[in-house]
């Protein structure tokens, strides 16, 4: 697709609320962060499309939840696209960006690289995992893969696991700005019905249902180029769609690509193995290597420093 104009809202998530009804939401735009996510080679087009969709969903869902550390989305299926995994890391300090990363696992021999992406996931599950950090019990919610997109899976998850009606409108793909190389862009809007207080009257519930239906009808009118920009900025998009519902926007959150891998974490993951196991992992060059699935970082370590039987220098 070809688009023009200045980009002002790349790699941001803008929270908003519709003041005349109990609906909150997010507008997300991913540009450079998505390019970094998809920078690893050998992803077929069908896999790239699912990673883009999952990253966009994760950015909006992660910003919705008050996290201290990490939210993860995992999609596992029995088709040739076996796994889509994303992580959203909450900002480490006030004003800092959130971080996002993603990767996919697939069977290159079975996949149709240019065919429809979602059907190649097959049957499986959609999961959201929330980790609030050390000494906190992680939360995990799982629902079966449903509908015709990852967005439908996310909607089913919130309906079944959280009892929160939720809708998404997404657009993603390679875009070309005048004088610039082709690159990935993605944009989306998330709507979510706010939880209702117990004892809400039947008449009030009917009004809330009407508000929800009207907001979704308006969301269905959004156009692809309005979602991904750059000519229509997120506050303007909200006014175009929901001006009668009086949208109120809050502080936008920057989202950058970021990976949490490190040599220390690799060593920790190998600490459960014996010296015999470590020898089976040793290359002909006499080292143990590991690659990060998210960012492609390559680690080279000496085998006698790994595993629970590792000796320290001088032993």
* The total number of structural domains that make up the chain: 2
Pick the closest to residue 297 from 33, 36, 34, 35 (CA basis).
36
pLDDT at 57 over 90: yes
pLDDT at 198 over 60: no
User: Residue 299's domain spans which residues?
Assistant: 263-305
pLDDT tens by residue, 24-37:
999 999 999 999 99
Residues 154 and 284 both lie in one domain: no
pTM above 0.95, yes or no: no
Residue 66's pLDDT band (boundaries 50, 70, 90)?
A: confident
Residues 233 and 275 both lie in one domain: no
Asked, for residue 315, whether it belongs to a domain, the answer is no
Residues 47 and 107 both lie in one domain: yes
Q: What is the pLDDT of residue 111?
A: 94
Asked, for residue 214, whether it belongs to a domain, the answer is yes
Asked, for residue 311, whether it belongs to a domain, the answer is no
Residues 282 and 185 both lie in one domain: no
Residues 223 and 271 both lie in one domain: no
Residues 253 and 269 both lie in one domain: no
pLDDT tens by residue, 87-108:
999 998 888 999 999 999 999 9
255 to 32, 64, 78, 238: CA distances (angstroms): 10, 13, 31, 20
Residues 176 and 214 both lie in one domain: yes
pLDDT tens by residue, 206-223:
667 899 999 999 999 999
Phi-psi region of 34 (alpha: psi -120 to 50; beta: other; left: phi over 0): alpha
**C-alpha to C-alpha distance for 72 and 140, rounded to whole angstroms:** 9
Phi (first) and psi of residue 33, to 5 degrees: -60, -40
Q: What is the pLDDT of residue 25?
A: 96
Say which CATH number the domain at 131 has.
Answer: 3.55.30.10
Residues 219 and 173 both lie in one domain: yes
Residues in the chain: 315
Residues 241 and 295 both lie in one domain: no
Residues 121 and 235 both lie in one domain: yes
Pick the closest to residue 29 from 243, 259, 238 (CA basis).
238
**C-alpha to C-alpha distance for 142 and 28, rounded to whole angstroms:** 24
In 63-165 the beta strands, taken as DSSP E runs, fall at: 70-77, 81-89, 98-106, 124-131, 139-144
């Amino acid at each position: 697709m070809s688009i023009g104009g200045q980009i002002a809202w790349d790699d941001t998530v803008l929270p908003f609320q519709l003041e005349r009804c109990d609906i909150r939401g997010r507008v997300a735009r991913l540009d450079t962060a998505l390019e970094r996510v998809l920078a690893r080679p050998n992803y077929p087009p069908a896999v790239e499309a699912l990673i883009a969709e999952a990253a966009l969903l994760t950015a909006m869902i992660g910003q919705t939840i008050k996290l201290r550390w990490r939210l993860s989305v995992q999609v596992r299926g029995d088709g040739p696209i076996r796994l889509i995994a994303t992580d959203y890391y909450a900002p480490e300090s006030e004003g800092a960006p959130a971080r996002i990363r993603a990767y996919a696992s697939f069977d290159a021999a079975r996949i149709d690289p240019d065919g429809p992406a979602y059907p190649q996931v097959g049957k499986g599950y959609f999961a959201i995992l929330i980790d609030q950090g050390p000494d906190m019990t992680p939360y995990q919610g799982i629902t079966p893969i449903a509908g015709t997109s990852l967005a439908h899976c996310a909607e089913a998850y919130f309906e079944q696991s959280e009892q929160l009606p939720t809708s998404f409108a997404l657009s993603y793909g390679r875009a070309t700005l005048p004088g610039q190389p082709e690159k990935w862009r993605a944009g989306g809007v998330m709507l979510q019905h706010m939880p209702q207080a117990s004892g809400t009257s039947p008449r009030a519930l009917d009004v809330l249902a009407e508000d929800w239906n009207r907001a979704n009808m308006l969301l269905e009118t959004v156009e692809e180029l309005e979602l991904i920009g750059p000519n229509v900025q997120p506050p303007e998009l909200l006014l175009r769609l929901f001006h009668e519902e009086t949208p109120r926007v809050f502080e936008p959150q920057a989202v950058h690509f970021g990976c949490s891998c490190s040599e220390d974490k690799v060593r920790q993951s190998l600490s459960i193995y014996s010296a015999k196991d470590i020898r089976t992992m040793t290359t002909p060059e006499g080292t143990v290597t590991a690659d990060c699935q998210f960012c492609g970082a390559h680690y080279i370590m000496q085998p006698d420093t790994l595993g629970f039987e590792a000796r320290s220098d001088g032993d």
